[in-house]
Amino acid sequence: MKYYSTRGNDGPLGYEEALLSGLARDGGLYLPESYPAFSDDEMRAMADLPYAALAGRIMSRFTDGELDEAELAAMAGDAYAGFTDPDVAPLHHLNGNIHVMELFHGPTIAFKDYAMQFLSRAFDRALKGAGRQAVILGATSGDTGSAALEAFRGRDAVDIFILFPDGRVSPVQQRQMTSIDAVGAHAVAVSGDFDDCQAIVKQLFNDHGFRDRVNLSAVNSINWARLMPQIVYYFSAALALGAPGRKVAFSVPTGNFGNVFAGYVAMRMGLPIERLIVASNSNDILTRFFEQGAMQRDVVTPSLSPSMDIQVSSNFERLLFELMDRDGVAVAGIMDRFAETGRFELPDSAMTAAHRHFSAYRLDDAGTLAEIAASMETDGMCLDPHSAVGVSAARRAIADGTVAADIPVVALACAHPAKFGAAVSKATGTTPALPPHLADLMQRPEKMAKADASAAAVRDLVLEKWRRG
């Protein structure tokens, strides 16, 4: 399988090169040259596979000639061995035609574990194969950092440094990062805000001497190998509900557009997905795009679902590439215009293609609290704020006829309610308990480094702490 950039000026690369590079050299994102499809017979044969075997079957289509199915299945088995539900991504019937897929059974109880746990093993294997070491550097406002530190802790070939704004992440999120005591894993409290942390990461990636010296890598959601494992749970849910003989729809709480794009890839691989519902909070740039055909940047407003407090969705460029019939030059032009003016519009033909598969809904904080309370009261299910945004969109898509009455809708539950306990308590009057493996989290000792909000301070810290390769 060959990979090409969405901006038409980088590629072909193999799977491992795309994995280790992350972002393409022309500023674009890597995509496979095609989406290998499964026949109905092949899908029927997949219906009874355990999760790790299913993961191996699906991902092997994208690693052709480099990693085989058995090896991928073993990596997935190892990645998901510690998950607290044997089904890994279990379905829960909510009511009527709505099912909730629980994606919070990993170590940090948010869906980013599903990708990150696989990615860390993929990195380790690729680096060891090449006899290389790497330093991973990232900034987090919460969920990504804890999932990354948890996944990359103790990997021989990788030292990981995650910057977070000192005093500005939730207590649970901070303790999930700082309670990790492993060689090569570093939570770094930066005396600044999230934008400072991100700016430092950017500056250090642009410091080519430093970048080459430590072999700097990133694990943000633009990495294709982070999307690959997310395709798997769309298959597992749809097959459990009767695919390929029965169509399904998915409702996806969306921020950077990575998760819902994985659903789009599953559809292109032959899964009968009738509709992908993009669910946003009051940061509704995507909802407005699907309504109006124009992407118009706005300011970010903090909400109860902070992992979706995003204006520019980094993975949207992948869909844009498809909507523009894979014309990388056109995509590069559109992205340049967006960077300059904060706005772009798409031709009718592209919007027709978008509306064929996607619908979009928004929900503000008041609606989110009401949805959490209603799901608790009528269905006995405690949703976190992100999941509530998705379930509400699913309900409305059924009510307004966007999804036909006989089609099951799977709403993705992207975090455990205890991760956002304050919002849940506000909605229901009860603070949800952390799952048993995290019950003593807040009593665990903290270990963290501190750094001033400057690239030089963080660079010095990395050079002091990394294990030289």
Ligand X SMILES: *Cc1c(COP(=O)(O)O)cnc(C)c1O
Active-site residue set? 112
Q: Which residue stretches of 249-327 are H helix?
A: 258-268, 285-292, 316-323
By CB atoms closer than 10 A (0-12, 13-18, 19+), residue 86 is exposed
Stretch that binds ligand X, among 46-54, 123-131, 236-244, 247-255 (CB under 6 A): 247-255
Q: Crossing angle, helix 69-80 and helix 51-59, to 10 degrees?
A: 140
Per rule CB under 6 A, is residue 278 in the interface with ligand X? Answer: no
Q: Look at the alpha carbons of 149, 152, 156, 161 in this order and tell me if their dihedral is positive or negative.
A: negative
Taking CB under 6 A as the rule, does residue 139 contact ligand X? Answer: no
Residue 146 · residue 177 · CB < 8 Å: yes
- The span of 43-51, 179-187, 253-261, 281-289 binding ligand X (CB under 6 A) equals 253-261
307 or 368: whose CB is closer to ligand X?
307
Q: Mark the segment that binds ligand X (CB under 6 A) among 48-56, 86-94, 255-263, 461-469.
A: 255-263
By the rule CB under 6 A, 285 interacts with ligand X? no
Contacts of 132 (CB under 8 A, 6+ apart): 157, 215, 469
- 102, 124, 143, 150: residue in contact with ligand X (rule CB under 6 A): 143
Report, in Å, the least distance between residue 261 CB and ligand X: 8
In terms of DSSP H, where are the helices of 12-111? 15-21, 40-46, 51-59, 69-80
Tell me how many degrees the CA angle 265-266-268 measures, rounded to the nearest 5.
60
Both tokens of 101, joined, read 């897929």
Give me the least distance between CB of 267 and ligand X, in Å please.
Answer: 16
Q: Which of 38, 257, 264, 338 binds ligand X (CB under 6 A)?
A: 257
Pick out residues in 147-206 that bind ligand X (CB under 6 A): none
Quote the CA–CA distance of 323 and 321 in Å, as a whole number: 6
- Our finding on whether 415 is near ligand X (CB under 6 A) is yes
Residue 120 as a binder of ligand X (CB under 6 A): the answer is: no
Q: Is residue 127 within a helix (H) or strand (E), and if so which, with residue range?
A: helix 112-129
What six digits make up the tokens of 281?
Answer: 């909070």
The nearest distance, CB 207 to ligand X, in angstroms, is: 27
Cβ proximity to ligand X, 114 vs 210, nearer residue: 114
Q: Which of residues 13-72 bind ligand X (CB under 6 A)?
A: none
Strands 294-296 and 343-345: antiparallel
Residue 43 or residue 228: which is nearer to ligand X going by CB? 228
Is 386 a binder of ligand X (CB under 6 A)?
yes
| Interacting residue with ligand X among 97, 282, 307, 368 (CB under 6 A) | 307
Residues within the interface to ligand X (CB under 6 A): 110, 112, 143, 221, 253-259, 307-308, 386, 414-415
